[in-house]
Structure 1
Amino acid sequence: MPRPTYCSGFLKTLLLAGALWSSAAVAQQPAAQRDTSFTVHSAYTKAKVQHPYISIARPPVPATIRSQTNLTYCTENGRALQLDVFYPKSKRRQRFPGVLLVHGGGWRSGDRSQHVPMAQQLAARGFVAVTAEYRLSPEAPYPAAVQDLKTALRWLRAHARPYALDTSRVAVWGFSAGGQLAALVGTTNHDPLYEAGACFRSRSSSVQAIVDVDGILAFLHPESGEGDDSKSLSAATQWFGSNKLTRPELWQQGSALSHLSPNTPPTLFINSGVARMHAGRDDMMRQLTGLHIYTELHYFPEAPHPFPLFHPWFTPTLDYTVSFLNKVFPQP
């Protein structure tokens, strides 16, 4: 499929500038280092300054769900990758659609516990909801995170029976960097670049719907704010392991907008008022519409970037997600 037209001149400029910029600026971080800069509490403390009415979303755990936590879905180089599963209690012979939830944190921080409340509420609405960890940039650069998430999807299908999962109806949902990853996972169904490791390779990692909550769609885009290394290495530069001037083709490869095709699944965008967090969204929606693929947008112009973690936006985000998935997933 031809690349978006806005990229051609922009890429030439980047390639020319890249010849003058040394890749030696990209530093390697120790593999054991854990970045804890993004937490629910730190995001709340920052957001509350301008939004004093917010509160952290911690709804009661629904009595209608079950959970299994700290399950290892794959071991990579001796590293156990884990996930948690939340699913409906049901005595009927019924199968439920699945949702893989992907946390944010600039590809270098954050953890899967941040979306446990959302996963629990999705389970109460009739979904098998999984929160999975993935290797962050201090541990492994792109494309490891994408490969890990696809492995988690294969694990989910391999373990469909205990959770009554309908393997033909699986979505990926992500916030911030997790939204970017969710969109990339969903637009690269069957792409061998992102299928790695030996775990559950006989199973499919394809998804049938994407929910991108304030995640960037194109790194090399006029709306993007990623890749400013003037003061320190940006989160995206750390994730790609190279700056955008030196390896622009890698940054384009990691953009969901570069992978659209007639096989892209229906996509929901839920956004804050921070425009750079959804760079490329409008281009993606136009292309999806041109491909006759259903897409939907909901927008909270007054909301800070980490809005799905807080009231008053948590419940509308949940409602928009459930409504969209019920709309695009065929009913059994």
Structure 2
Amino acid sequence: MTIVLKWIAKAILTGFSFVLLLWPFSPRPACWFLRNLFRFGTYIRPKNYSALRARVEIARDLRYGPSNKKCTLDVISPAAPSGPLPVVFWLHGGAYIAGDKADVEGYCVQIAARGYIVVNVNYPLAPEAVYPAGVRSAADACSFIAARADTFNIDLSRAYFAGDSAGAQMSAQFVTAQIDAEYAQKVKIPQVVPRECIRGMGLFCGLYDAAAYAGNFDSHTPVSYVVKRVFWGVTGNAEWRHGPEIEEASVLRHIPPSGFPPVFLTDGNIGTFTEQGMAYAEALRDCGTPVEDTFYPRSVTLLPHEYQFNMRRAAAQHAFGLFMEFLERTKK
């Protein structure tokens, strides 16, 4: 037994040392570390969730792309739809390296229970798949659904794109590419959804100027060390600060001159991207985009990143109600 324990201890120490040795030369250990932090999501169900769940049906794990096992989606629909319904494409968060559609299923159920089809999309994660693989997969998911719109009772002329955290940035980037042909060509994201079919966006706790955010991590603290390697993993470029990827993904810097369809935007107020959300909302308004933004002062309540998923909190309930009102106003 003693020999076995010594062997196990030696194996663990060897593995740990190997990770430490690899850390400076690869983004994978940092990405693996953060991926495990995001494993269980942040969604907390409302008290009436069972009743909401009974009102919807879910077609799970439909494969929309052959290139990656993550290319699956769920279609969440009202159990008794009355005619073709508007569709909300949702991209989950997870810093581009983690997360899963299962993490946001409950929130998508809440939306579907109010009379919408929700397409809950998984996409390839970094560092296995580098930028902009996830956004390109959104185009594949849209094409997959378009070919089956009649099957799922979807009205594609009333499409919304929404997401949380990384998914918010990706949704914004995807819609930017659908509207701006020059930008779409630059970032090589296919144009598959006509502008007139996009009724709006729902953006929750997103990072909209990654280039500016990256500038906050010039120090040699452990947090900076991890963040730098995450960006390395996302872009596939160890010299990402000097590459084009971060600037391209900074949607705040690539707003189409004609603006966007209506946007709903919200964020918390501690440990999140509040200032970027406010700046993006203002920049969108300057281009003539109708924006409904919701932010809460710290003096009232402290709301962390992804606050909207804690449906036992008054602010999350309030934000959800506002988002549903936004959908109702813009779908007509």
Q: TM-score, normalised by structure 1?
A: 0.76
Q: Contact 2:177–2:189 (CA<8 Å) still a contact in 1?
A: no
SS in 2 for 1:172: strand
Match of 2:234 in 1: 239
Evaluate the alpha carbon distance shift between residue 157 and residue 233 of structure 1 in structure 2; reply closer, same or farther with a 3 A threshold.
same
Q: How far apart, in 1, do the equivalents of 2:216 and 2:113 lie?
A: 36
List aligned pairs for 1:105-254, cutoff 5 A: 105-189=94-178, 190=181, 191-192=184-185, 193-195=187-189, 204=193, 207-221=198-212, 230=220, 231=222, 232-234=225-227, 235-242=230-237, 243-247=239-243, 249-254=244-249
Match of 2:9 in 1: none
Evaluate the alpha carbon distance shift between residue 194 and residue 325 of structure 1 in structure 2; reply closer, same or farther with a 3 A threshold.
farther
Q: Which runs of no fewer than 5 residues in structure 1 stay unpaired?
A: 1-23, 45-54
Code of the residue aligned with 2:211 in structure 1: it is L
Q: How far apart, in 2, do the equivalents of 1:154 and 1:229 lie?
A: 43
Evaluate the alpha carbon distance shift between residue 158 and residue 316 of structure 1 in structure 2; reply closer, same or farther with a 3 A threshold.
farther
Q: Deviations over 1:220-257 (max 9, x none)?
A: 22x6676557332413332122355322x321101111
Code of the residue aligned with 2:276 in structure 1: it is G
Q: How far apart, in 2, do the equivalents of 1:91 and 1:305 lie?
A: 34
Q: TM-score, normalised by structure 2?
A: 0.76
Match of 2:309 in 1: 309
More deviation, 235-244/316-325: 235-244
**Higher gyration radius (CA):** 2
Q: Contact 2:269–2:303 (CA<8 Å) still a contact in 1?
A: yes
Evaluate the alpha carbon distance shift between residue 211 and residue 113 of structure 1 in structure 2; reply closer, same or farther with a 3 A threshold.
same
Code of the residue aligned with 2:75 in structure 1: it is V
Q: Contact 1:219–1:251 (CA<8 Å) still a contact in 2?
A: yes
Q: Deviations over 1:23-59 (max 9, x none)?
A: x9662539xx793320346x58xxxxxxxxxx55572
User: Over the residues paired in the alignment, what is the CA RMSD in angstroms?
Assistant: 2.9
Q: How far apart, in 2, do the equivalents of 1:268 and 1:289 lie?
A: 12
Indicate which of 293, 300, 306 corresponds to 2:296: 300
Asked if residue 29 in structure 1 is aligned to residue 18 in structure 2, the reply is: no
Q: Contact 1:157–1:204 (CA<8 Å) still a contact in 2?
A: no
Q: How far apart, in 2, do the equivalents of 1:155 and 1:97 lie?
A: 16
Q: Which runs of no fewer than 5 residues in structure 2 stay unpaired?
A: 1-22
Evaluate the alpha carbon distance shift between residue 286 and residue 317 of structure 1 in structure 2; reply closer, same or farther with a 3 A threshold.
closer
* Offset, 1:276: 4.9
Q: Deviations over 1:239-295 (max 9, x none)?
A: 122355322x32110111122111522211111003752453333323322222101
Q: Which structure is richer in relative contact order (CA contacts within 8 A, separation 6 or more)?
A: 1
Match of 1:87 in 2: 77
Residue correspondences, number: 286
Code of the residue aligned with 1:259 in structure 2: it is H
Q: Contact 1:68–1:86 (CA<8 Å) still a contact in 2?
A: yes
Evaluate the alpha carbon distance shift between residue 277 and residue 80 of structure 1 in structure 2; reply closer, same or farther with a 3 A threshold.
closer
User: Higher helix proportion, which one?
Assistant: 2
Match of 1:327 in 2: 329
Code of the residue aligned with 1:112 in structure 2: it is K
Q: How far apart, in 2, do the equivalents of 1:266 and 1:275 lie?
A: 27
Q: How far apart, in 2, do the equivalents of 1:224 and 1:233 lie?
A: 12
More deviation, 281-290/225-234: 225-234
Q: Deviations over 1:55-106 (max 9, x none)?
A: 5557224333221011111111x646111111123364x2211111111111
Evaluate the alpha carbon distance shift between residue 256 and residue 63 of structure 1 in structure 2; reply closer, same or farther with a 3 A threshold.
same
